[in-house]
Structure 1
Amino acid sequence: MKKILAVTACPTGVAHTYMAAESLLKTAKNKDIPIKVETRGAVGVENELTPQDIAEAHAIIVAADTDVQEARFAGKPVVRVPVAQAIKNPAGLLEEALNKQASAAATQADLGKQVEDLKAARSATRSGAYKHLMTGVSHMLPLVVAGGLLIALSFIFGIEAFKQEGTLAAALMNIGGNAAFALMVPILSGFIAFSIAEKPGLAPGLIGGMLASSTGAGFIGGIISGFLAGYIALALKKSIKLPRNLEGLKPILLIPLLASGITGLLMIYVVGKPVSALMTALTTWLSGLGTTNAIVLGLILGAMMAFDMGGPLNKTAYTFAVGLVGSGVYGPMAAVMAAGMTPPLGLWLATLLAKHKFTTEERNAGKAASILGISFITEGAIPFAAGDPLRVIPSIIAGSAVTGALSMAFGATLRAPHGGIFVLPIPNAVGHLGLYALAIVIGTIVTALILSVIKKPVEERTA
């Protein structure tokens, strides 16, 4: 028998979302039609459709007035209607879905690939606290990039031109510093909480983040408040039980009130002052680093960027540096981006210097790696590391460590936490630009030379 899937969602996520789902379920049961309904309400996604559900479905009914991630239904017949239509005419929608035929649908092979890709993506992101932290960082990042570049652009008119009210420099500084950077920690906190508890976690997470900013707890306080708000909201979401007709009070009234209050009190009376003191000490230490300590810090951050090429260690170093940008400390960010560019660039250069040690496919991959490298996509090194980890990984760690150490030793700074070489021409985005570029070049050469020496020729590998 043909199986039908449905998704219901209304803008508020309270009444119509669940009324539509109930209407479809009841009608399908009366008609003996197998159906599964996903609701995307104020309490989050419930009864979520799995890749296997989608693969097995004959058609999908999307009764929604908001985004429901329709891309996952590619290749399947979809009936799209406003959410109210599912309440008024569920029988008609089910009949239309049953009669729906796929036109120009994707092939079975394509669908299988989509399902496998989705599984792989979900498996990659389902890693507990790491996943939640990266969700917050990914939403915070555009604010840091935009804010940092706007601040840098304000310096075109003079390093202190922004102090004169009414000028364009002052406006750019206001947009970048007082708006974009002010939102950085609340967004980080809010989306960590959102990742944990979905919609119910967002408000307490944002409020906790604002309190982290106002108490001086900075990005570390924002991370703490995000996890606090998320797990408090999740606990309340699971523990508060109300009659079905009062269920809408949970996401709109009870959870935001209780979770925000508890998170806020913890931030004010427990977390705020100690973390603020820690942030002040950290900022003071980083701002006053001597050359030796700066080199050691850069070396460590650089090695972390190369060690797992986009994995947890890489992201830990990156998050640390991004958080410091909001505190006005720009040296670690420069070291981290330079060290993240070096591995793919070094591998590309190695394929040119020691062609006989790389296959034709590897040399072609080296060309692609060079583009990824200049774009600050460290993952471009992964295919090489997977093929020869014992030689490639030590080589790229050495090159990135050298780059990070030199960047810090040269006093290089970076206000934009992404973009690779494409942000370098922007006035004042990079401090000590010439020396910064030199650090990247030297690290690239170190990686290439080491790998060129220790890598076995192709004929020895295939013998």
Structure 2
Amino acid sequence: MKKILKDIQKHLLSGVSFMMPVVVAGGVILAISLLGAEQTAKGLVPTNPIMIYLNQLGKAGMTMMIPVFAAYIAYSAAGKPGLTPGFILGYIANSVIMVNGVEVKSGFLGALLLGLLAGYMVNWMKGWKIAKNKTLRSIMPILIMPIFTVLVLGLAYYFIIAIPISALVTWLTNVMTELNGGSKTIFAIFMGIFAEIDFGGPMTKTISMFTLSMINEGVMEPNGIFRVLVAVPPLGIFLASLIAKNKFTEEERDNAKAVGIIGALGITEGAIPFAIKDPKAVYPASIIGCITAALIAAYGNVTCPVPHGGFIVLPVVGNKIWFVVAILAGAAVMAILLKILKKDVVESVA
């Protein structure tokens, strides 16, 4: 059992290592495209033709992040034959599909599961005893393995994995609607726990939809809290890399700088590789940091009328000082906890 868990961790770290440059490239370019963007009902929209193109370029990188993650998990488990099913299944996990009339998107959690399953299925197929026919052997990795794996796991995703996720999303939306009318403290704690628990994934998107729906009702506070939280995990990781250098490798410290920049501009996904690599430290630190930020934002009556977050929306938020204080306090708490929870790293000497 320990060997299986160790192998799974190895495959996940492989996916993370290949995904990280995509996250950084896409996130930084996307953040640059939003500088000087115009505030509209749909959020920050670039108006300059070059910035519009950079926006598309950055979004392409962020969209590719999840398929790359799944593909290289499968690659780690099964080698090159795992890449094709990994890319396709990772793409579908990051796409909206209709299941029984319900829109479902599983994001990086679905991609993680499908990438592992694809890798192990391809590895299993590589052990098939086939006839000693060179032609048959040559088409296995380019025809039989990818088609069979994508069909089997694609259908399993549709009929088994996607349906529970849709039920979870419906439950979460109902719970949040009820909490918004109740205790401000309970609501803020709930937001702190769940709003960024998957760092920009389907649960985050669900909560974002809820806060935006409240804007249409003239209630800006839930969106204000949410737009604070999107910046906390990446900035917390960045601050931790400064105050606890012995807890991060040199490569991680370099990556944390880019993650901090895109986090300040409202992009959370850069925290995903760090969370996957060290979930025991990052998840509790992120949750407590986000709870701290959410409580400050709630009692500071922070409001935000646009569907974007981070410091880039500061000109349009209500109670700007508390908005900034909430982000910095949440990130600081997360950084301190990471310093306590993370283990020292020992970098190999070449």
Normalising by structure 2, report the TM-score. 0.51
Contact 1:309–1:382 (8 Å) recurs in 2? yes
Matched, 1:415 2:305: yes
Q: Which residues of 2 match residues 155-174 of structure 1 at below 5 A?
A: none
Contact 2:259–2:271 (8 Å) recurs in 1? yes
- Find 1:349's aligned residue among 239, 252, 255: 239
Question: Measured at CA, do residues 461 and 350 of structure 1 come closer, stay the same or move farther in structure 2, by a change above 3 Å?
Answer: farther
Question: Measured at CA, do residues 433 and 126 of structure 1 come closer, stay the same or move farther in structure 2, by a change above 3 Å?
Answer: closer
1:1-26 deviation line (CA, Å, top 9, x unaligned): xxxxxxxxxxxxxxxxxxxxxxxxxx
Contact 1:347–1:381 (8 Å) recurs in 2? yes
Q: Which runs of 4+ in 1 moved over 3 A?
A: 112-119, 126-135
Counterpart position of 1:446 = 333
Question: Measured at CA, do residues 423 and 336 of structure 1 come closer, stay the same or move farther in structure 2, by a change above 3 Å?
Answer: same
Deviation at 1:127, TM superposition (A): 5.4
Which residue identity does 1:441 align to in structure 2? L
Deviation at 1:113, TM superposition (A): 7.6
| Structure 2 counterpart SS, 1:397 | helix
Deviation at 1:133, TM superposition (A): 4.1
Identify the structure with bigger relative contact order (alpha carbons < 8 Å, sequence gap 6+).
2
1:159-211 deviation line (CA, Å, top 9, x unaligned): xxxxxxxxxxxxxxxxxxxxxxxxxxxxxxxxxxxxxxxxxxxxxxxxxxxxx
1:99-154 deviation line (CA, Å, top 9, x unaligned): xxxxxxxxxxxxx989964542123326545995479xxxxxxxxxxxxxxxxxxx
Looking at structure 2, the residues matched to 132 and 438 of structure 1 have their Cα atoms a distance apart, in angstroms, of 39
Counterpart position of 1:384 = 274
| Structure 2 counterpart SS, 1:458 | coil
Matched, 1:123 2:89: no
Q: Which residues of 2 match residues 190-201 of structure 1 at below 5 A?
A: none
1:61-118 deviation line (CA, Å, top 9, x unaligned): xxxxxxxxxx9xxxxxxxxxxxxxxxxxxxxxxxxxxxxxxxxxxxxxxxx9899645
Looking at structure 2, the residues matched to 388 and 461 of structure 1 have their Cα atoms a distance apart, in angstroms, of 19
Counterpart position of 2:149 = none
Deviation at 1:454, TM superposition (A): 1.4
What runs of 5+ residues in structure 1 fail to find an aligned partner? 1-70, 72-111, 136-222, 225-277
What runs of 5+ residues in structure 2 fail to find an aligned partner? 1-59, 61-81, 106-168
Number of paired residues?
203
Matched, 1:295 2:185: yes
Looking at structure 1, the residues matched to 341 and 210 of structure 2 have their Cα atoms a distance apart, in angstroms, of 33
Q: Which residues of 2 match residues 39-438 of structure 1 at below 5 A?
A: 117-125=87-95, 128=98, 133=103, 286=180, 293-425=183-315, 429-438=316-325
1:374-427 deviation line (CA, Å, top 9, x unaligned): 1222211111111111111110111011111211111111101214221212xx
Question: Measured at CA, do residues 130 and 304 of structure 1 come closer, stay the same or move farther in structure 2, by a change above 3 Å?
Answer: farther
Question: Measured at CA, do residues 365 and 375 of structure 1 come closer, stay the same or move farther in structure 2, by a change above 3 Å?
Answer: same
1:311-363 deviation line (CA, Å, top 9, x unaligned): 33222221111111111100000111111210011001000000011001110
Contact 1:302–1:340 (8 Å) recurs in 2? no
Looking at structure 2, the residues matched to 124 and 356 of structure 1 have their Cα atoms a distance apart, in angstroms, of 34
| Structure 2 counterpart SS, 1:319 | helix
Choose 1 or 2 for highest CA Rg. 1
| Structure 2 counterpart SS, 1:418 | coil
Contact 2:191–2:294 (8 Å) recurs in 1? yes
1:259-286 deviation line (CA, Å, top 9, x unaligned): xxxxxxxxxxxxxxxxxxx9xxx69x95
Contact 1:125–1:131 (8 Å) recurs in 2? no
Which residue identity does 2:196 align to in structure 1? A
Looking at structure 2, the residues matched to 121 and 456 of structure 1 have their Cα atoms a distance apart, in angstroms, of 34
Contact 1:286–1:329 (8 Å) recurs in 2? no
1:15-38 deviation line (CA, Å, top 9, x unaligned): xxxxxxxxxxxxxxxxxxxxxxxx
Contact 1:407–1:435 (8 Å) recurs in 2? yes
What fraction of aligned residue pairs are identical, expressed as a percent?
A: 33
Contact 2:249–2:347 (8 Å) recurs in 1? no
Contact 2:300–2:319 (8 Å) recurs in 1? yes
Contact 1:296–1:405 (8 Å) recurs in 2? no
Counterpart position of 1:139 = none
Contact 2:230–2:309 (8 Å) recurs in 1? no
Contact 2:239–2:331 (8 Å) recurs in 1? yes
Looking at structure 2, the residues matched to 404 and 348 of structure 1 have their Cα atoms a distance apart, in angstroms, of 19
| Structure 2 counterpart SS, 1:390 | helix
| Structure 2 counterpart SS, 1:412 | coil
Which residue identity does 2:335 align to in structure 1? A
CA RMSD, aligned part only?
3.5
Looking at structure 1, the residues matched to 332 and 256 of structure 2 have their Cα atoms a distance apart, in angstroms, of 14
Which residue identity does 2:251 align to in structure 1? E
Looking at structure 2, the residues matched to 299 and 422 of structure 1 have their Cα atoms a distance apart, in angstroms, of 24
